Structure 1
Amino acid sequence: MKRIFKLIEKYFFIIILLAVAISLVYPNSFKWVLSEYNGINVLNLLLSLVLFTMGTTLKVDDFLRVFKHPKEISVGLIAQYMVMPVLAFSLAEMFSLDAGLTVGLILVGTVPGGTASDVITFLANGDVALSVSLTAFSTVISPILTPIITLFLIGNQIHFNPVDMFVSIVEIVIIPIVLGLILNYKFPDFCEKLKDYLPAISSIVICLIVAGVIGANKQAILTSSAIILIVIVLQYFLAMLVGFGVGYLAGMNKKQIVTVAIELAFQNSGLSTSLAKTHFPSLTQATVPGALYSVWQNFAGSILAYVFRRYV
């Protein structure tokens, strides 16, 4: 059984491409992902499951590390919440994206780093401890910064309630992480055993989310795929280049530079998709950038991890 889960983790980028292919050919196959059962939003529930698994891998030391390595953590967080949103907004303006795609792209830029960055950092032989801390910190402060920055960038053009977004992020992100932390604190041995299975479980859940969103927006994706795909690829690689530049200017070592670059390029696209669906329901294409970004970052990241490990 453990071997199967390891294979799922190893070949995640192939599985997600397969899920995307199925959702495009049979768009209703994953329709349930975007539905509600007894008032419970399935998409948010799935995302909370991913964040809960992340919480079970964290310890208090991951948050205390900021006092041991303040420069690296601070540089990474500043770049995360200053560079990424501005980059997303600039690309949306440059390519004259419509309102829905603009909102979706900006949300990809304003959400915290994704948990997949920790796995890719490990595969790339980067600083895993730094990656975990950056992901944890950026996630914990996201209920405050994500709504504020999003409001600053699009508040004058598109109305939404930042307080409601704050509440959503607390429900989807903070509560599951805290529950995971408590479980890890109370039952550390049990959570240690779970580590062999959690990456694969998270990978499957992310595949379901991406497939659900892409299936529901098949027509929108096919009609605007060329432009938005170019923007997504640009956003990813520019984020990575900025990460390299910021890390180098901050005087970090090679492993830390690679880590910051990966952390910036890997966004919590599942969260951006959930926020788009919840807070911008009239903009149907707002969920598209997050779904496409998830596919691209995992596909490209798997390849780049090999390159970094071998040549950097």
Structure 2
Amino acid sequence: MKGIFEFIEKYFFIVILLGVAISLVYPNSFKWVLSEYNGINIINLLLSIVLFTMGTTLKADDFINVIRNPKAIGVGISAQYIIMPLMAFALARAFCLDTALTAGLILVGTVPGGTASDVITFIAKGDVALSVSLTAVSTVISPLLTPIITLLLIGNQIHFNPIDMFISIVQIVIVPIMLGLILNYKFPNFCEKLKDYLPTVSSIVICLIVAGVIGANKQAILTSSTVILIVIVLQYFLSMLIGFGIGRLAGLDKKQIITVAIEIAFQNSGLSTSLAKTHFPNLSQATVPGAIYSVWQNFAGSILAYAFRKYQS
């Protein structure tokens, strides 16, 4: 059983591509992901599971690491919440994206770093402790920064309530993480045993979210795939290159540079998709950029991780 979980974690990009293929051929297979159960959005519930698993892996040392590496943390968080949102906004303008795709792309740029960055950093032989700290800090402050930055960038184009978005992020992100932290604090040995399985659980859940969104927006994706794919690929690689550049300018070492670059490029696209569905219900295509970004970042990241290992040798 453990071998199966390790296989899924290692070849996550293949699993996610398989999910995408099934959702395109049989779009109704994952329709339930975007439905509700007793008034609860299934997609929000699934995302909360991912964040809960993240919480069970965090310890006080992950936050103490912020004090030990203030420069690296400062560089990573600044890039996360300044460069990524502005880049998303610039790309949306440059490619004249419609309102829905613009909203979705902006959300990809304003959400915190994704948990997959920690796995890719490990494969790339980067600074895993720094990666975990960056993901944790960017996630904890996201309830404040994500709604504010989104409002500043597209508030004049799209009406939404930033307070409601703040509450959503607290419910979807902060509460599950805190529950995971409490479980880890109370039962550390149990959580240590779960570490071999939780990354795979998170991977499967992300696959379900992506497949559900792509299946529901199959026609929209097929008709606008060229433009949005180009934008997503550009957003990913530009953020990676900028991460490298900023890291070098800040005088970080190679491991830290790689970590910052990966952290900036890997977004919590599941959260962006969830927020798009919840707060832009009349813009169905707003969920598309997050779904496509999730597929691309995991596929490209898995390949680039090995290139980063060469960079350090």
TM tier, smaller: over 0.9
Code of the residue aligned with 1:8 in structure 2: it is I
1:279 Cα deviation from its structure 2 partner: 0.0
For 2:18 and 2:71, how far apart are their aligned partners in 1?
41
1:73 Cα deviation from its structure 2 partner: 0.5
Find the residue that maps to 1:189 and give its secondary structure. helix
For 1:117 and 1:69, how far apart are their aligned partners in 2?
18
Match of 1:141 in 2: 141
Alignment of 1:246 onto 2:246? yes
Alignment of 1:158 onto 2:154? no
Q: How many residue pairs are counted as aligned between the two chains?
A: 312
Match of 1:98 in 2: 98
For 2:26 and 2:63, how far apart are their aligned partners in 1?
43
Match of 1:12 in 2: 12
For 2:142 and 2:28, how far apart are their aligned partners in 1?
32
For 1:67 and 1:8, how far apart are their aligned partners in 2?
35
For 2:46 and 2:16, how far apart are their aligned partners in 1?
16
Q: CA RMSD in A?
A: 0.5
Q: List per-residue Cα deviations over 1:262-312 (Å, max 9, x = no partner).
A: 000000000000000000000010000000000000000000001111233
For 2:121 and 2:141, how far apart are their aligned partners in 1?
22
Alignment of 1:296 onto 2:296? yes
1:60 Cα deviation from its structure 2 partner: 1.3
Match of 1:88 in 2: 88
Match of 1:22 in 2: 22
Code of the residue aligned with 1:212 in structure 2: it is G
Find the residue that maps to 1:157 and give its secondary structure. coil
Find the residue that maps to 2:236 and give its secondary structure. helix
For 1:150 and 1:253, how far apart are their aligned partners in 2?
32
1:30 Cα deviation from its structure 2 partner: 0.1
What is the TM-score when the length of structure 2 is the normalising length? 0.99
1:225 Cα deviation from its structure 2 partner: 0.2
Find the residue that maps to 2:105 and give its secondary structure. helix
Match of 1:50 in 2: 50
Alignment of 1:233 onto 2:233? yes
Q: List per-residue Cα deviations over 1:50-70 (Å, max 9, x = no partner).
A: 000000000011112111111
Match of 2:186 in 1: 186
Find the residue that maps to 1:133 and give its secondary structure. helix
What are the ranges of 5 or more consecutive residues in structure 1 without an aligned counterpart? none
Code of the residue aligned with 2:108 in structure 1: it is V
Q: List per-residue Cα deviations over 1:223-279 (Å, max 9, x = no partner).
A: 100000000000000000010011001000000000000000000000000000000
Match of 2:175 in 1: 175
For 1:311 and 1:264, how far apart are their aligned partners in 2?
18
For 2:137 and 2:54, how far apart are their aligned partners in 1?
12
Q: How does 1:57-96 map to 2 (within 5 A)?
A: 57-96=57-96
For 1:54 and 1:221, how far apart are their aligned partners in 2?
30
For 1:131 and 1:311, how far apart are their aligned partners in 2?
18
Code of the residue aligned with 2:163 in structure 1: it is V
1:148 Cα deviation from its structure 2 partner: 0.1
What is the TM-score when the length of structure 1 is the normalising length? 0.99
For 2:236 and 2:211, how far apart are their aligned partners in 1?
20
Alignment of 1:267 onto 2:267? yes
For 1:15 and 1:75, how far apart are their aligned partners in 2?
33
For 2:20 and 2:293, how far apart are their aligned partners in 1?
12
For 1:258 and 1:275, how far apart are their aligned partners in 2?
29
Question: Percent identity over the alignment?
Answer: 81
Code of the residue aligned with 1:275 in structure 2: it is L
Q: List per-residue Cα deviations over 1:90-142 (Å, max 9, x = no partner).
A: 00000000000000000000000000000000000000000000000000000
For 2:246 and 2:191, how far apart are their aligned partners in 1?
35
Which sits farther off after the overlay, 57-66 or 162-171? Answer: 57-66
Alignment of 1:199 onto 2:205? no
